[in-house]
Amino acid sequence: MINVTTERKKQIEYTGLTEQDLKLLADCRPIFQKVVDEVVDRFYDHVGAQPELVSLIARVSDIERLKETQKGYWLSLADGTIDQDVQPGRAAALKSILDEYAA
């Protein structure tokens, strides 16, 4: 469900994301749930191999906290809704995932 202001709706329409797309993503949520731990772990394994990133992260947070945040973000992509609290870039990310899935 897309529940946003008219201006935000125009931004979302620009990405090509539709209500049907959101339903498809919501239908795929069980897949997201199965793979989210592995996806996030692999990402942070890569981050952990970059000393400058590890140093930067250590100054403001820790990897485990960031992993939990990232997991929540990935699962939110498949919740089937976009509302005013959703960042504008998320619609483009959702559309990109759908385009990749359809390919």
Dump pLDDT digits (tens) for 30-70.
Answer: 999 999 999 999 999 999 999 998 888 888 888 898 899 88
Q: Residues 2-102: name the CATH superfamily.
A: Globins (1.10.490.10)
- pLDDT, one tens digit per residue, over 78-97 is 888 877 766 556 666 666 66
Q: Tell me which long-range contacts 15-20 makes (C-beta under 8 A, separation of at least 24).
A: 15/91, 15/92, 15/94, 15/95, 16/95, 17/82, 17/91, 17/92, 17/94, 17/95, 17/98
